[in-house]
Chains A and B, each alone.
Chain A
Amino acid sequence: MKVRLNLATKPLVTHRRFLVGSAVIAGVAGIVFLALGWHVWAARSAQSKMLARIEEIRVETADLEARRAKLEKFFGQPENAKLSDRAAFLNSIIDESSFSWTQMFMDLERVKTGGVRLLSVSPKMVKGNMEVKLKVGATSDEAKLKFLRALEGSRSFGKVVLLSNQVGTQPGGDQQVFELSVVYTRA
């Protein structure tokens, strides 16, 4: 065993605690410094990459803008404008002719609830979207609401707008007759 007693009037003091404490603090400070340095380096590196990417995108955007302007100028010429309108017209015809009535009726069948019947369906291509006008007869308010909710919840139909609503007068006929505009998204 070691005896740690000292009766000197001016006792020698060990500096081990101080030295070890200083070394530990210096070590921790060093580790923190390295961690922060690495973090700063990583942040700067990421920032410079991002700036390079932004510059690339900016150049790409400027190039696309130039090409767009060039194309607009090209299509702005009278002879090309006619050609453009004709192409748009032909495209709309092609789109309408490729519309699948069978698919749309199958989708309507899925959303149609009890007490509701379709009176007329008229699809029309508007700005690239297939807008469908529906005339529907319902036996009650509740049946009408169920159908509207089913349409709104359907993935195949969107932008449901109620255009008109009439209350039926004929006994035994539909109590509610209403017109709807929906966008058929699977066209």
Chain B
Amino acid sequence: MSETVTFRKGIYQNELVRKATMWLNASPHPPLAIEIATDRIAGARLSRTGGLDGFAVEPLPPGALTPSAVETNIINIVAVKSAFESVCSRLRARNEDVAILLPDPVIRVFVQHFDEFPRSPQEAIPMLKWKLKKSVPFEVDETLISYMRQAPREGGVDVVTALGRLRIIREYEALAEHLGLTAGVVLSSSLAAVSLLDDRRPTLLARVSDTALTTAIVRDGVLCGYRCTELPAKGAALTPQMLLEEIYPVAAYYQDTWQEGIKGVRVAGLGSRLPEFVRPLEDEFHCDVRSLLHTAVSEGWLSDEARPLADRELEGLVGWMLQRK
């Protein structure tokens, strides 16, 4: 067993082997993606080459959707269905696979370290369910679980696990099925947006969506930390101090565990209020603080085709589009 592990570690040090393994293990990428948020439903159709073929955005009335990992999400079923249908119709979606990007509070994400981790999903999933049964506010039996292994900081294995309550996920999948679509991929918007980060150095993402704040730290292709919390205020009432108090635990955890500081902060979802938050964040983290999408555009990560999505701050869809490349 240990010889096999050593051998695997050895071959994964090779850049080519690592890239080939990532390519083989890459998630399927349907060309149609729908991002659902509390205030809107947006969709994008990607071309065969990964460019943007078309996109559509439909607003949702306030209170139509209440993202939660536990309770019913779709409150105004008629409005949500109508918006979803309208987006799909404008994107000529019919009898095909679709990727649905859900609001972050719906999906719980954990980054855990294991000394030994089984390779087969048949063994790994029960183990993860058992480990996380006290961390989620619903029964293990009605849990959907997905995990990915990633390079550990030292020995052992780091595992990123996403959990969702079956009936909540089914609510969103039913929207697609109603139109003859198959929800082949279900992910949270922030997990899709993570691909917009420059992970060559430790970078923190702070993404605000309604009252939800998602904080994630990436470094060298590894998701080092992830936290989705509820902000005490939203919109104009949100202050830099409130944001900092929610971001700080993840940053402190990273600094303690990885023994290094954050080298970049990327913020999304603050819109025109971003400049108010830049200085306090810079003072706290002593690094550059910039908009997630503007950085991706200015650094040339995004093609011109993706600009319309970036202009509307659809970072989930932009990230999904980038994941294909």
Contacts and interface: CB of A to CB of B under 8 A. Distances in A.
B315 interface: no
B146 interface: yes
B318 interface: no
Interface in B156-203: 160, 162-164, 166, 169-170, 173, 182-187, 191-192, 194-195, 197, 199
Contacts of A8: 100, 169, 173, 183-186
A18 to B, nearest CB: 10
B25 interface: yes
Nearest to A15: B28
A9 B27 contact: no
A3 B223 contact: yes
Contact of A3 (B28, B148, B164): B148
Most B-side CB within 10 Å, residue of A6, A9, A13, A20: A6
B173 A3 contact: no
A4 B26 contact: yes
Given A11-B185, A12-B30, A5 B24 contact: no
A17 interface: yes
A9 B170 contact: yes
B218 interface: yes
Interface in B202-241: 218, 221-223
B184 A12 contact: yes
Interface string A1-29: 11111111111111011001000000000
A17 to B, nearest CB: 5
Contacts of B195: 1-3
B194 A14 contact: no
Most B-side CB within 10 Å, residue of A2, A9, A11: A2
A14 B22 CA distance: 12
Nearest to A10: B182
Given A1-B197, A1-B221, A3-B194, A16 B23 contact: yes
Contact of A12 (B28, B164, B221, B222): B28
Nearest to B164: A7
B184 A5 contact: no
B28 A1 contact: no
A17 B24 contact: yes
B95 to A, nearest CB: 14
Contact of A9 (B173, B187, B192): B173
A4 B148 contact: yes
Contacts of B186: 6-9
A54 to B, nearest CB: 54
Interface residues of A, number: 17
Contacts of A12: 27-28, 30, 97, 182, 184-185
B184 A10 contact: yes
A4 B324 CA distance: 12
Contact of A2 (B22, B24, B164): B22
Contact of B222 (A1, A14, A17): A1
B146 A1 contact: no
A10 B323 CA distance: 21
Contact of A1 (B26, B97, B218): B218
A9 B27 CA distance: 15
B147 interface: yes
B191 A5 contact: yes
A20 B23 CA distance: 11
Most B-side CB within 10 Å, residue of A5, A7, A12, A14: A7
A5 B199 contact: no
B144 interface: yes
A15 to B, nearest CB: 9
B221 A9 contact: no
B25 to A, nearest CB: 6
Interface in A97-136: none
Given A3-B192, A7-B162, A20 B184 contact: no
B107 interface: yes
B218 A7 contact: no
A20 B24 contact: yes
Contacts of B323: 2-3
A103 to B, nearest CB: 75
B118 to A, nearest CB: 17
A13 B23 CA distance: 13
Interface of A: 1-14, 16-17, 20
28 contacts: A1-B197, A1-B222, A1-B223, A2-B22, A2-B195, A3-B187, A3-B195, A4-B25, A5-B109, A5-B146, A5-B147, A5-B148, A7-B107, A7-B164, A7-B186, A8-B184, A8-B186, A9-B144, A10-B182, A10-B184, A12-B27, A12-B97, A13-B28, A14-B24, A14-B26, A16-B23, A16-B24, A20-B24
- The 3 tightest CB contacts between A and B, nearest first, are A12-B184, A12-B28, A8-B186
